[in-house]
Amino acid sequence: IPPLSSMTLTGNHLIAGREAAPHSHTFNATNPTTSEKLDPVYGDATHAEADEALQAAEAAFDALRLATPETRAALLDAIADEITALGDALLERAHAETALPMARLTGERGRAIGQCKLFAALIREGSWAEARVDHAIPDRQPLPKPDVRRVMMPLGPVVVFGASNFPFAIGVVGTDTVCALAAGCPVVVKGHPAHPGTCEMMGRAVENALRKVGLPAGCFSLLHGKGNDIGTTLVKHPLTQAVGFTGSLRGGRALMDVAAARPTPIPVYAEMGSVNPVFVLPGALKERASKIAEAYVGSVTMGVGQFCTNPAIVLGIMGPDLQQFISSSAALATKVAPQTMLHSGICQAYGAGTAVWQTIKGLELAGQSETPPSSDATQAACRIFTTTLDVLENNEELNREVFGPCSIITECPTLDDLLRYANKLEGQLTATIHGTVEDLREYAPLVRVLEKKVGRIIFNGFPTGIEVCPSMHHGGPYPAASHSFFTSIGTASIYRFVRPVCYQGFPEEALPELLQDANPRGAMRIVDGEIKR
Ligand code: NAP
């Protein structure tokens, strides 16, 4: 196996270990900072190649799902090692393709490696599979109780769409791929066309890891493509059992509709972003308006605002403290240097979205980067707007995500108005409250409303920067995500790609290991109604 750090990119699709050269609708990655085209040439995978990848995935499914958890965990550890072995070459290619700073990319690579190790530990331990055992009671009256046991089983081949804004942690070997492989599902990735070279490097890391642990090459394929055709083909394919997606509402919704229209519908787990309202309450504003403004502008501009958790709408009760917060935020915005966005499409959408806002009567530009952005360098300026609640409520487009470093601070007359707005919110990934403990007591009804609207509620923090841990929930009611029950980040994300199977009356030795009485893994289970190891 050649060391990946010295790898020459080929532009090939990686289909179950076979190299397939691009031959139709070719495209190059573009460096967003310089507009320079980057070699090599990539191209759209064909329908035959999509079929080949999914046939291979189906053929590899039994080997992957019936492999011991140790083997699948070894695969994840080997992927982590292969990513590490890519060294600086991976960071440099990702930097050229996305313009994300090297420090950010280094941190994100650490997160991707950490995710591999986290899921390896999860499946070695076994409690995640929620094994339940109810022993038979043959002499129960009036009817005997049968022996019933249930455990989670993988769904089958999963199609993954990587995100443009997290080339490592939500990319080819991001959270979707890693938890699908951990569960025992082969994966076919549709690479993001904005960073195909990074996709190829990460895809080769998985290929090498599969070879190292002796699992079939069909467990993984990477297909490139630009335009909707290849993605739609993969979702329609009868062997696809589930889809993981992070991106736009338009793309996610289109794929949900394609999946629902199949003769056998399948789940599409789409994480589609939101406006992430932030409520700054009076006590907090009185105590620390300037400090909150500093953290807020930092959150809005982090990663050039290219996060689905960007705090795009702030609401507070009108008065001098809110005015101070607005003027501090506006002053800070002027000092933010314009930065290069991920690709020209996202940059144009940002420019167009904020230009539409500026035509809305009653919406004021409070402050923006004083240095003008360079369109040659795909740059975006930070823009902080202010408005009143009636303008926000009467203009639907202000309540839709504009991806980039912009945000709207809204003056509300009373608590009742805040509550009315919160009650009308669409599903959101997050909502944030800045307050004192007294604020939280007085505004408790706001928390009760937000519990019905969002996936994660943050107190005195900001929604950007997501901790990858067992209790994280990164999802929310539609349109933030397609299924509010599921998270796309953290260990609970594995439940997207499994389903329960129940065994009744089986002899011990014919049961999956996690359901046997001996419980050799020592996993936490519910046995005859009692939670124990
Ligand atoms: P995107 O346009 O939704 O694309 C994501 C992936 O889905 C790409 O591989 C794309 O490839 C594919 N796709 C999109 N629409 C499709 C369709 N109708 N049928 C089949 N495949 C489809 O997202 P993006 O390029 O990352 O960024 C664009 C916008 O998405 C941003 O401006 C932002 O609003 C949003 N976004 C949200 C998040 C989030 O975390 N929720 C992250 C990034 C971006 P093809 O177009 O080549 O088919």
3-state helix, strand, coil in the chain (%, to 5): 45, 20, 35
Query: Which residue carries 């994280």 as its tokens?
Result: 472
Ligand 1 pocket: which of 199, 240, 248, 308 to mutate (most atoms within 8 A of CB): 248
Cβ-based neighbour number of residue 386 at 10 Å:
22
pLDDT of residue 273: 83
C-alpha 268/C-alpha 532 separation (Å) is 34
Question: Which are the contacts of 162, defined by CB distance < 8 A and separation ≥ 6?
Answer: 170, 171, 172, 174, 176, 189, 190, 191, 192, 199, 246
pLDDT of residue 23: 87
What is the DSSP annotation of 53-82?
A: HHHHHHHHHHHHHHS-HHHHHHHHHHHHHH
Long-range contacts from 467-476, C-beta under 8 angstroms, 24+ separation:
468/111, 468/114, 468/115, 468/118, 468/169, 468/175, 474/271, 474/429, 475/271, 475/429, 476/274, 476/427, 476/428, 476/429, 476/430
What is the DSSP annotation of 505-526?
A: S--GGGS-GGGSTT-TT---EE
C-alpha 422/C-alpha 63 separation (Å) is 49
Pairing assessment for the beta strands 454-459 and 530-532 based on DSSP bridges: unpaired
C-alpha 97/C-alpha 342 separation (Å) is 8
In the set 185, 199, 219, 308, the catalytic residue is 308
Per-residue pLDDT of the chain (533 residues; tens, 9 = 90+): 444 545 789 999 999 999 999 988 999 999 999 999 999 999 999 999 999 999 999 999 999 999 999 999 999 999 999 999 999 999 999 999 999 999 999 999 999 999 999 999 999 999 999 999 999 999 999 999 999 999 999 999 999 999 999 999 999 999 999 999 999 999 999 999 999 999 999 999 999 999 999 999 999 999 999 999 999 999 999 999 999 999 999 999 999 999 999 999 999 999 998 999 999 999 999 999 999 999 999 999 999 999 999 999 999 999 999 999 999 999 999 999 999 999 999 999 999 999 999 999 999 999 999 999 999 999 999 999 999 999 999 999 999 999 999 999 999 999 899 999 999 999 999 999 999 999 999 999 999 999 999 999 999 999 999 999 999 999 999 999 999 999 999 999 999 999 999 999 999 999 999 999 999 999 999 999 999 99
| Whole-number CA gyration radius for the chain | 25
Q: Whose CA is nearest to atom 13 of ligand 1?
A: 251
Q: Ligand 1: which atom is nearest the Cα of residue 235?
A: 20
Sign for the pseudo-dihedral over CA of 284, 288, 293, 294: negative
C-alpha 262/C-alpha 256 separation (Å) is 10
Element (H, E) at 389: helix 389-394
C-alpha 109/C-alpha 114 separation (Å) is 8
Q: Whose CA is nearest to atom 44 of ligand 1?
A: 247
Q: What is the pTM of this model?
A: 0.96
Instruction: Please say if 308 is a catalytic residue.
Output: yes
Cβ pair 426, 403 in contact under 8 A: no
C-alpha 370/C-alpha 330 separation (Å) is 11
Q: Residue 469: is it exposed, middle or buried by C-beta count within 10 angstroms (0-12/13-18/19+)? A: exposed
Q: Residue 260: is it exposed, middle or buried by C-beta count within 10 angstroms (0-12/13-18/19+)? A: exposed
For ligand 1, whether the C-beta of 271 sits within 6 Å is yes
pLDDT of residue 313: 98
Q: Ligand 1: which atom is nearest the Cα of residue 254?
A: 18
Among 173, 149, 169, 162, which Cα is nearest to 195's?
162
Query: Which residue carries 């191209």 as its tokens?
Result: 43
Query: Which residue carries 């990663």 as its tokens?
Result: 303
For ligand 1, whether the C-beta of 253 sits within 6 Å is no
Cβ pair 191, 222 in contact under 8 A: yes
Give, as one character, the DSSP assignment of residue 45: P
C-alpha 123/C-alpha 152 separation (Å) is 12
C-alpha 45/C-alpha 68 separation (Å) is 33
User: What number of residues does the chain have?
Assistant: 533
pLDDT of residue 1: 44
Tokens of 375: 């369109």
Cβ pair 297, 366 in contact under 8 A: no
Instruction: Please say if 199 is a catalytic residue.
Output: no
For ligand 1, whether the C-beta of 474 sits within 6 Å is no
Tokens of 165: 């804004």
pLDDT of residue 6: 52
C-alpha 342/C-alpha 326 separation (Å) is 28
For ligand 1, whether the C-beta of 247 sits within 6 Å is yes
Give, as one character, the DSSP assignment of residue 7: P
- Residue 246 Cα to ligand 1 midpoint, Å, equals 7
For ligand 1, whether the C-beta of 489 sits within 6 Å is no
